[in-house]
Structure 1
Amino acid sequence: MTAGRCTHDLELHDDVVIKRYASWERGEPHREWKALTLLAEHAPGLAPTPVDAALDARPPVIVMSRLPGRVLRGEHATDEQIRAVAAALDRLHRVPRRVVEAVEPAPWGPVAAVTKTRAWAGRRPDLGGDPVVREAYRAGVAWLASAAPDRLVAAPSSPVLGLADGNRANYLWDEHGRRVRLIDWEDSGRNDRAFELGELCEHISHLDGSLDARRLLAHVDLAPGEAERVRDFRRLIALGWFLQLGPGGPAAPHNPAGTLEAQAARVLRLLG
């Protein structure tokens, strides 16, 4: 969960994309190349095909195939598109466990989310005087102080290869093929499946267009107990964004007026 971080430049050609990284302190080029390579073997067509790489160059560079389509961010996703997202996630989450367990953990996952969200709450950010916002803060702080976030960390579910980034701009709708593909794997790694689903449902890009989380989750085959974990990860991630949206917060400059109030209402609905 990072607000306003520019990580790469893209050079688009007819059949390939050249990606040059602006930052790589977390191993972004290596993460992306590893994910693209594994997906080309275990879920071909779900992501760009890796073509070439200079991972230790300055800046690092990856060349990958260019996929057709348009991103879902800013779209009001149709039922067909929602089903296609669920189908894409199903393919991704079926990458064999033995393969996933050899992948480096994603930098953004349950432990990082709980730690950072509690830290943001502890700083008592300036969230203004709106009564709904103030109520969301009180309710959020109370939930963060409960045992629920600790249970999310203490009882991880089956690991999957994940994007660790729920930005709807990473979901590419192919109008011709009637399917969704996944792009931008620089934060990827081994992650908790319930966390990945919660991150997709509650990334702040949900305010730019719409993708009905309830309908999406209805198309996902959740294991026993996983629905409750997804619900609590949604609460956690929604709270994290909410706490960054106050005046002077890191997410505030990148979102339109009214975002804080809308996110406060969403937090209260999720906690209710």
Structure 2
Amino acid sequence: MQTHDVQINGDLVRKRFVDGKPGGAEREWRALVLLAEHAPGLTPSPVEYGTDLVVMSRIEGTPLFLLPAVPEKELVEAVDRLHSAVPRQVLDQVPQRLWPVERIRDQLLAWAGRWQPKNELADQAVREGVRWLSRWEPGEHGVRPVFGAGDGNTANFLWDGVRVRIVDFEESGRSDRATEIAEMAEHVSCWVHGESELRFELDSAEERRLLECRRLFALMWVFLLKDEGPRNPPGTFMRAVGRALDRLS
């Protein structure tokens, strides 16, 4: 399902939001303006903003999910730069990312309430997930506020042979470092064709929050992939189930 229509005209990209969800263009524009000031060159440059429309510069690069091997060092550098770019006094004024972890937890519990039995392992993952979610309170322990893209899809990270740059900020906003790293680590695009563990510098409290958030996102993919379609290889759903069980154990 497409959430926007993208047209490329020379050095410009016109991205029109067509899914009817409010705020996507505003979040994208806000991110491009902030990062053009605080992390120039990391993202496209903002050119024009209108109703459900963002025009930005075109940047070259190959999406990471198309590469035979991920440039791990450069990817970590790009994510670190994104997270550290926006000064705290500015970040405090930025709205939260579209899906904060509390909202994801509540959504997963709602989905679990409507779960239709699939198979023994999938049903076990949902049961164990519900038990954990019902007692998990994210709180503020281990939270380091950062500007987050809000989307760990490796299609949004472009490699030009020298550096990694980032596109697609329609779900972006104020977040925390452990949540953003967890979302990337558990995103289906990061493990469906192979897997590598990226190493980020985190303190002990952030490491604990990272593990909790990885449980959350791994469980989320069980629900998102339950009606397996042609986009991913056969067996992707059961791989997601196995990952969720591993995280919950």
Question: Normalised by the size of structure 1, how large is the TM-score?
Answer: 0.84
Where does structure 2 lack aligned partners over 5 or more consecutive residues?
none
Q: Tell me by how many angstroms 1:36 deviates.
A: 0.3
- Say if 2:124 is the partner of 1:135: yes
Distance in 1 (CA, whole Å) between partners of 2:117 and 2:84 is 41
Match of 2:35 in 1: 39
Q: 1:253: Cα distance to partner?
A: 6.5
For 1:22, the aligned partner's letter is V
Query: Contact 1:77/1:211 (CA < 8 Å) preserved in 2?
Result: no
The higher-RCO structure (CA 8 Å, 6+ apart) is 1
Q: Residue 82 and residue 64 in structure 1: after superposition, are their counterparts in 2 closer, same or farther (change >3 A)?
A: same
Any stretches of 5+ residues in structure 1 without a counterpart? Answer: none
Residue pair 2:186, 2:217 contacting (<8 A) in 1 also = yes
Residue 262 of structure 1 aligns with which residue? 239
Q: Quick check: 1:23 aligned with 2:23? A: no
Among 105, 120, 123, the residue aligned to 2:96: 105
Q: Report whether the alignment pairs 1:245 with 2:225.
A: yes
CA contact (8 A) 1:93 1:160 kept: yes
The number of aligned residues is 248
In the TM superposition, residue 202 of structure 1 has moved relative to its aligned partner by: 0.9
Contact 2:99/2:150 (8 A) holds in 1? yes
- Contact 2:178/2:210, CA 8 A, preserved across alignment: yes
Alignment partner, residue 75 of structure 1:
67
Deviation at 1:127, TM superposition (A): 4.3
Q: Is the 8 A contact 1:106 1:191 kept in 2?
A: yes
Mapped partners of 2:183, 2:149: distance in 1: 10
1:106-149 superposed Cα distances (whole Å, 9 cap, x missing partner): 111111111111221222x12422x332332333222223x3x3
How high is the sequence identity, in percent, across the aligned residues? 40
Distance 1:118 1:76 in 2: 37
* In structure 1, C-alpha distance between the alignment counterparts of 2:243 and 2:24, rounded to whole Å: 31
For residues 83-102 of structure 1, what are the structure 2 equivalents within 5 Å?
83-95=73-85, 96-102=87-93
Q: TM-score, normalised by structure 2?
A: 0.91
Distance of 2:98 and 2:174 partners within structure 1: 9
Change (3 A) 1:25 1:263: closer
Q: What CA deviation, in whole Å up to 9, does each residue of 1:168-211 have, x standing for no partner?
A: 11111111xx2111101111111122111111111222344334
User: Does residue 182 of the first structure (1) align with residue 166 of the second (2)?
Assistant: yes
Does the C-alpha gap of structure 1 residues 245 and 9 become closer, same or farther in structure 2, counting only changes over 3 Å?
A: same
Secondary structure at the counterpart of residue 194 of structure 2: coil
